[in-house]
Structure 1
Amino acid sequence: MASKTTLNAKNLEALGAERLAQLLIEISTGDAAAKRRLRLALAGTQGPKEAAREITKRLTSIARARAFVDWQNRKPLVKDLETQRSAIMEQIAPRDPREALALLWRFMGLATPIFERCDDGSGIVIDIFHQACADLGEVARAAAPDPEALARQVLDALRGNGFGQYDGLIDIIAPALGPGGVARLKELVEDLGRTPVPVPPKSEWHAVGWGSGGTRYAHEMEEHARRSTVEMALKDIADAQGDVDGFIAQYDPKTRKVPKIAAEIARRLLAAGRAAEALGFIERAEVKEARWIPAEWQDARLAVLEALDRKDEAQAFRWACFARDLSVEHLRAYLKRLPDFDDIEAEERAMAHAAAHPGLLPALGFFLDWPSPDHAARLLIDRHGEIDGDHYEFLVPAAEALSDRHPLAATLALRAMIDFTLSKARSKRYGYAARHLATCGDLAGRIEDFAPVETHDAYVARLKSEHGRKSGFWGHFA
């Protein structure tokens, strides 16, 4: 049972309303954010209109702010924004969805002025706007606004989507628009597509500085933004209408051969029951000479082959994907579809293929992910001369995973990083390298045979001979 002094709602209720009110006044003194929350809560008791006025005042204040917000003082802004968004959804939307919808549009309008003065490297601020954008769909369905007016608001929002705050808006708002509203939005977007950004008449070129590079460049950027908005909106509208051909029409024939685009088209055709056409787009994609093939294209091709009941081809492609990229996912899927006992032989063949892969680090990564520590250890021992000590992102987890059962292999991974650090004089890594060498000393006692490399004592002696003057490293080691 919780103590009577535990901070929870039930225990605080025992203080009584008067004492709680006194404490809140004391706690909020000097805390602007706490005071705003209290005023907002009080306004909510007076009804949605009063709460809306309080929120509107705060949104206006945020919009007018000019101080730059860096990562150190971003937290208060995030808290403030979340407070306003939550108040709209919790205090106003249930009782007055139309008022809540108007406030949400106003809230979303804060994105541009905020991002122009805010460092959002962590993505915390944009996440709040993405949530508010999702809230638009929920509230718009309840508010049931005029489809024509809503369609125009959506178009205006998309034209001002400079920071990605409205990404996914069409899919979010489509249920509220209804079929008629979505069709009207399409008309508005197509009208925008037929209306290029106007060029000033020649008689005004000198007055507006059209001859200067800056003015002409700004016009080109605005025109590019208009075309991008139209293309992206028409794709999203096509998806909302279930119009696969309309989606395909937004790409020219050459772009349709880009593997990722071909995969997007194929997925939509497959969902529409047009698997044969989907395969055509997949097969025409330009992947034969590609050094890297997107996973989306591979997955789409497999889905299409399965839909067409071409299971043998799908299995052959799974093996090809594994053989090319050492893909754990494709190998697992391949083995899962084999008859009993055939999968054991196939797995052995896969391990041999991975061990012979020309890239040691991709092979090591595969064995660690599978996982097969025995194969990973054998790989490091057999091909220790190929280990690139610069790739600590592979070697550190390898050493950790192998240290218990395969101390020699773990030592080889650690030595590779030590050798690279010292030979390249990477002083910032000296501390790590010293710890690696200490770990090698711990592992040495469990290694019965150091072949094909030198013993630990001989290795340390060689390091002192070759790098004895690197006092920064030896200082860490000591």
Structure 2
Amino acid sequence: MKKENKLVADLTSFDSNVLAEFIASLYGADTFLDSKIERLLLSKDTDKLTKLMKKEIASLKRSQGYIGYYESADFSNKISELHYEIENNILPKWPDKAFKLIEALLDTAENSLERCDDSNGDIGDAYQNICLLWLKAASMSSAPKSGWTNAVKLLAQDNDYGILDPLLPNAHMLLSEDELRQLAAYYENGLRASLTNKYDCRADFRWSVNLKGVAEALKDPTMYQQAMLLVSPSPNYIQMEDMAKFCIGCGAYDQAMKWLEGDWGTAQWDKPNATRLSLLADCYLGLNQQDKRRITLIELLDISPSYKNFQKILPLVSAGEAGQLRVKFIASVLKQSDSYAKLAPLIQLEEYVQAEEIAIKDIDKLANYSYTTLLSLLKLVPEDRHLIRIILLRCLLDDILTRAKTPAYNYGVDYLRELDQLDTKITTYATLPVHADYMLQVKGKHGRKHSFWSKYNTQ
């Protein structure tokens, strides 16, 4: 934000004619930028801007081209730009026109999501934001003859892609408490009828989810609980976690604690009891019962030795007890089988010698970690911890080159150049191959990836 404010301040110092000529010179270079310039020029003429927006939304609706993963961010920005123009330049002056535009924009979601790789969720997020704008615009617009409650009910029926997930939890932006409770009664009656018919468990789920959504809008833990228990009279630990979190979010700590009684046990890839203790500690925090919170957090650290859990305890114990807990925590970390579970807390505790030993020992395991996991580890390592950085940078570079991810070659070049720089600073590679030998290995395996090497050799 500071950088943006400085840019605005610098631009205001220019003569308006200079800026106008500069903007004109950009026109025609990029279709996305052209649209922004056209909308800027029409921002004072709401009628013409509305017509332009209708045209762009119609184009979005009928477009058929596939949008790959690496193009999805730009596409979501395009959708967000339309959102911005409607919200800021049309809605304040013409709410009814803005509402119709928002409905039309929301209607493009199915076509957009059907033809894109939205693995990162950017496009879905953009449409969820439009769903929230629908509520805002509706609250400023003329109500339909059948009323807004019915309009919300009809819209919520078509949520196959999850873009309307924010609708009911935020319906208080539009509906009164009485209207929300009428809507809740509709969903509860529908749920009970569906359960009686025993026809379609998916229908049961939809009725329950919608009832939960209204409960969120009302911040009503009893209603939320009812929506869950009607479908699952004996909830599993995931459902109990959901219920406890909702109660905590509503400040209903006593109700939350009812769901946190007893041991939740363990699962193959999960630690349910750690989750239970963490939520229980949150309840004690909300109830200002610090001694019980301290005891609970110590128990949590025993079964889930993470740096985050260790940090939670420190303000609640003496310096002497903190030292004892640190020693015990490190011992627990070193017993972990997962390399990340060992390395991350050791780096955060600045126990770099032990971290380096583990990184060298587990280098083959680290090489099989996902790119994002490796990157998250690298972000924890200070620049002066050369050996750990070298190990992680090599793993990241090998991952990019092995998978031949050409769109990521720029990142790979950055990693290799950092490895070049670290070679001039490091005093010992321990048992690792030195940089020259590593480079021979990389070129031996990936020497034919010419697009990568051309980028690397371009200084």
- TM-score, normalized by length of structure 2? 0.70
Q: 2:444 maps to which residue?
A: 472
Q: Find the counterpart in structure 1 of residue 14 from structure 2.
A: 11
Which among 251, 258, 266 is matched to residue 236 of structure 2?
258
In 2: Cα distance, 1:317 partner to 1:356 partner: 22
Q: Structure 2, unaligned stretches of length 5 or more?
A: 1-8, 404-411, 449-459
C-alpha contact 1:66 1:117 (8 A) present in aligned 2: yes
Contact 1:258 1:285 in 2 (8 A): no
Whether the 8 Å CA contact 1:278–1:304 is kept in 2: the answer is yes
Structure 1 equivalent of residue 348 of structure 2: 369
Contact kept? 1:305, 1:313, Cα under 8 Å: yes
Aligned match for 1:342, one of 290, 310, 321: 321
Write the distance in 1 (CA, Å) between the matches of 2:30 and 2:442: 53
For 2:86, the equivalent position in structure 1 comes to 88
Q: 1: distance between equivalents of 2:324 and 2:223?
A: 48
- Aligned position for 1:205: none
Give the share of equivalent positions with the same residue, in percent.
Answer: 15
SS in 2 for 1:371: coil
In the alignment, does 2:242 pair up with 1:244?
Answer: no
- Contact 1:43/1:51 (8 A) holds in 2: yes
Q: 1:317 to 1:149 in 2, by over 3 A?
A: same
Distance 2:181 2:385 in 1: 65
Q: How does 1:197-276 map to 2 (within 5 A)?
A: 226-252=203-229, 257-270=235-248, 275-276=253-254
Instruction: Kindly provide the CA deviation profile for residues 342-392 of structure 1, in whole angstroms up to 9, marking residues without a partner as x.
Output: 3223322332333344656532332123232134346679xx4xx361323
Question: What does 1:381-396 correspond to in 2, within 5 Å?
Answer: 384=361, 387=362, 389-392=364-367, 393=369
* 1:144–1:176 contact (8 Å) kept in structure 2: no
Pick one of 285, 295, 303 that aligns with 1:316: 295
1:203 counterpart residue number: none
- Structure 1 residue 99: deviation in Å? 2.3
Q: CA deviation at 1:45?
A: 4.0
1:184 to 173, 182, 185: 182
Question: Post-superposition shift, 1:248?
Answer: 0.6
Q: 1:10 to 1:173 in 2, by over 3 A?
A: farther
How far apart, CA to CA, are the structure 2 residues paired with 1:435 and 1:76?
Answer: 28
1:283 correspondence with 2:261? yes
CA contact (8 A) 2:67 2:115 kept: yes
Provide the rounded CA distance (Å) in 2 between the counterparts of 1:359 and 1:73.
34
Rate the CA distance shift 1:10–1:444 in 2: closer, same or farther, 3 A: closer
Q: Equivalent residues in 2 for 1:308-457 (5 A)?
A: 311-357=290-336, 362-377=341-356, 384=361, 387=362, 389-392=364-367, 393=369, 428=402, 446=428
Choose from 92, 96, 99 the match for 1:98.
96
State the number of aligned residues.
415
- 1:225-276 deviations in whole A, cap 9, x for unaligned? 5433321110011122232111011223857643332233224445666544
Letter aligned with residue 228 of structure 2: Y
Q: Tell me: CA distance 1:323–1:106, structure 2 relative to 1, closer, same or farther (3 Å).
A: same
Q: SS at 1:390's partner residue? A: helix
Q: Structure 1 residue 313: deviation in Å?
A: 4.3
Give the direction of change, closer, same or farther, for the CA distance of 1:290–1:188 in structure 2 (3 Å limit). Answer: same
Change (3 A) 1:248 1:351: same
The whole-number CA distance in structure 2 between the counterparts of 1:375 and 1:266 is 38
Distance in 2 (alpha carbons) for counterparts of 1:364 and 1:242: 40
1:103 to 1:267, Cα distance in 2 relative to 1, 3 A: same
Letter in 2 for 1:248: Q
Equivalent position of 1:292 in the other structure: 270
Kindly report which structure 2 residues correspond to 1:57-68, keeping only aligned pairs within 5 A, or say none: 57-68=55-66
Which residue matches 1:112?
Answer: 110
Following the alignment from structure 1 to structure 2, what is the Cα–Cα distance between the partners of residues 176 and 227? 26
CA drift at 1:330: 1.4
Report the Cα offset of residue 117 of structure 1. 2.2
Distance 2:353 2:39 in 1: 62
After superposition, the CA RMSD in angstroms is 5.0
**Larger gyration radius, structure 1 or structure 2:** 1
CA distance in 2 between counterparts of 1:374 and 1:147 reads 71
Shift of 1:441: 9.1
Equivalents in 1 of 2:36, 2:419: separation in Å?
55
Q: Is the 8 A contact 1:269 1:278 kept in 2?
A: yes
Q: Distance in 1 between matches of 2:108 and 2:66?
A: 15
The normalised TM-score by structure 1 is 0.68
Amino acid across the alignment from 2:61: A
| Residue equivalent to 1:172 | 170
Verify the 8 A CA contact 1:279 1:304 in the aligned structure 2. yes
Give 2:452's aligned residue. Answer: none
Matches within 5 A, 1:132-147: 132-143=130-141, 145=143
Q: Is the 8 A contact 2:73 2:123 kept in 1?
A: no
Shift of 1:93: 0.9
8 A Cα contact 2:386 2:422, kept in partner: no
Aligned mate of 2:119, from 92, 103, 121: 121
The answer as to whether partners of 2:306 and 2:341 remain within 8 angstroms in 1 is no
**Aligned with 2:312: secondary structure?**
helix
Specify every segment of 5 or more residues in structure 1 that has no aligned partner in the other structure, as ranges.
1-5, 200-219, 422-426
SS in 2 for 1:14: helix
Q: Which letter does structure 2 place at the counterpart of 1:372?
A: E
- Whole-Å Cα distance in 2 between the matches of residues 87 and 14 of structure 1? 25
**What are the superposed Cα offsets for residues 394-413 of structure 1, whole Å, 9 maximum, x if unpaired?**
89968x95996796x999x7
Alignment-derived partner of residue 456 in structure 2: none
Answer yes or no: is the 8 Å Cα contact 2:53–2:82 preserved in 1: yes
Secondary structure of 1:391's counterpart equals helix
